Amino acid sequence: AKIKFIEANGAEHEVEAREGQSVMQSAMDNLVPGIVAECGGFASCATCHGYVDEGWLKKLPPPEAAEESMISCAFHVRPNSRLTCQLKVTPALDGMVVRLPVSQT
């Protein structure tokens, strides 16, 4: 699935994400700036935070409790904020756009 990350400064990075990996991992594998992922994907750092474009938000399962509580610790939170380490890549997400916050701290 192709996923496009857009940095706060407008720089776009389209990556090829493997099914089953997390959206965060696909960003890390492709050295996308703006995703820090300090905890390595355990929903305990909130530095993999991104904004999922509206149309895609409804295709995702709702956040589980761990993500929900960690998101409240993230910076620059918006209604469409998600932790990208908790989003699993599926074929349905092909073309998804994730915008990145101005910073993760």
- Binding footprint of ligand FES on the chain (CB under 6 A): 24, 37-39, 41-48, 70, 83, 85
d(CA 15, CA 100): 14
d(CA 1, CA 73): 29
Query: Which CB sits closer to ligand FES, 6 or 83?
Result: 83
Q: How far apart are the first and last CA of the chain?
A: 29
Query: Which CB sits closer to ligand FES, 32 or 37?
Result: 37
d(CA 68, CA 16): 27
Query: Which CB sits closer to ligand FES, 10 or 96?
Result: 96
The nearest distance, CB 82 to ligand FES, in angstroms, is 10
Question: Residue 20's CB: how many other CB atoms inside 10 A?
Answer: 9
The nearest distance, CB 68 to ligand FES, in angstroms, is 12
The nearest distance, CB 96 to ligand FES, in angstroms, is 17
Smallest CA-to-CA distance from 83 within 92, 101, 95 is with 101
The nearest distance, CB 35 to ligand FES, in angstroms, is 8
